[in-house]
Amino acid sequence: MKIAFFDSGIGGLSVLHHAMKILPDEKFIFFADEDNVPYGTKTREQVLNYVDAAFKFLTTQNVGAIVVACNTATSVAVRAMREKYSLPIIGMEPAIKVALDLYPHKKVFVAATEITVRGEKIYNLIDRLDAKNFVELHAMQKLVDFAERQEFNSSAVENYLREEFAPYDFKNFSSIVLGCTHFNYFKDTMKKILPAHIKILDGNAGTLNQLVRLANLKIGKGKKNPSVEYFYSGRRVTSSEELARLENYLQRLDEMFFI
Ligand code: DGL
């Protein structure tokens, strides 16, 4: 089956990267909406329009499922897309439940985009888990720009992370949940700054479990070079320069995978 992974930019590659490791029989499409990234600073209406345009394109590509590998797009548009299309559509969910199941008595720091931390979807999730007093939501929008520029561990990134983390006493926290797929590129830099006991959790495994279940796929050991077609906002990526850029991201994700 051909499966599409969609994101505002290159964050969703972290979900595709994980999928390529565990789905040996599938082919992949990756759609980064590079014309409109970042989504997190836009209005909900704008994001809904971007996602709508991406789905219009992706549903012409003979795909059996679409993974919305973007927490922001999931928060704004996944429900509307499910009403419109009948193929399996899998969204992202910040791994708050995983964190609370592992460490029930400690707080969870959720880092996400501006839209996601304001959105109803995340408050519904926190309510469902009855976790209001255990979750701290924090927008770290600038990381999206750093990631798009392939700036992962510069002193500007470190300073930004230090400033954002400074108001919190991490003694009371067990973990940081990455509520934006662009944030996976910063795991080592976060680890360097945060106290040693803080775990870094992302929602990729949860999303892929859902994909496997809904699209009826077989998990195994992924192929070394699976077939992936890359698109930027609907345009096929063919230039060797851009393909090398994407390859760099995948290499970075290899380094981040076991953190
Ligand atoms: N990668 C995205 C997410 O998971 C969106 C980042 C952005 O475009 O602001 O939320």
Q: Write the CATH number of the domain with boundaries 96-203.
A: 3.40.50.1860
Q: Ligand 1 pocket, 71 CB below 6 A?
A: yes
Per run of 10 residues, the mean pLDDT along the chain (length 259 residues) is 98 98 96 98 98 98 98 97 98 97 96 96 96 97 98 98 97 98 98 97 97 97 92 98 97 95
Q: Ligand 1 pocket, 72 CB below 6 A?
A: yes
CA of 11 to the centre of ligand 1 (A): 7
CA of 40 to the centre of ligand 1 (A): 6
Q: Ligand 1 pocket, 39 CB below 6 A?
A: yes
Catalytic amino acids? 70, 180
Question: Do 47 and 72 contact (CB within 8 A), yes or no?
Answer: yes
Best probe residue, ligand 1, of 50, 72, 149 (max atoms within 8 Å of C-beta):
72
Q: Ligand 1 pocket, 139 CB below 6 A?
A: no
Domain positions in the chain are 2-91+205-256, 96-203
Written as one letter, the residue type at 129 is L
Residue 11 tokens read as 């964050």
Helix (H) or strand (E) holding 16: helix 13-22
- pLDDT value at residue 37: 98
DSSP-H helix ranges across 119-239: 120-128, 142-148, 155-165, 187-193, 204-215
- pLDDT value at residue 201: 98
Q: Ligand 1 pocket, 36 CB below 6 A?
A: no
Q: What is the CA radius of gyration of the chain?
A: 17
- pLDDT value at residue 225: 86
Q: At what angle do helices 204-215 and 13-22 cross, to 10 degrees?
A: 60
Exposed, middle or buried by CB within 10 Å (0-12, 13-18, 19+), for 222?
A: middle
CA of 145 to the centre of ligand 1 (A): 10
CA of 214 to the centre of ligand 1 (A): 24
Q: Which residue's CA is the nearest one to ligand 1's atom 2?
A: 70
CA of 109 to the centre of ligand 1 (A): 17
Question: Do 4 and 230 contact (CB within 8 A), yes or no?
Answer: no
Q: Ligand 1 pocket, 182 CB below 6 A?
A: yes
Its CATH architecture, for the domain 2-91+205-256, is: 3-Layer(aba) Sandwich (3.40)
Residue 110 tokens read as 């959720």
- pLDDT value at residue 223: 87
Domain 2-91+205-256 matches domain 96-203 at the CATH topology level = yes
Question: Do 200 and 187 contact (CB within 8 A), yes or no?
Answer: yes
Question: Do 251 and 243 contact (CB within 8 A), yes or no?
Answer: no
Q: Over the range 22-59, which residues count as b (16 or more CB within 10 Å of their CB) and which as e?
A: bbeebbbbbbbbbebbbbbbbeeeebbebbeebbebbb
140/111 Cα distance (integer angstroms): 6
Residue 95 tokens read as 């791994």
DSSP conformation class of 25: T
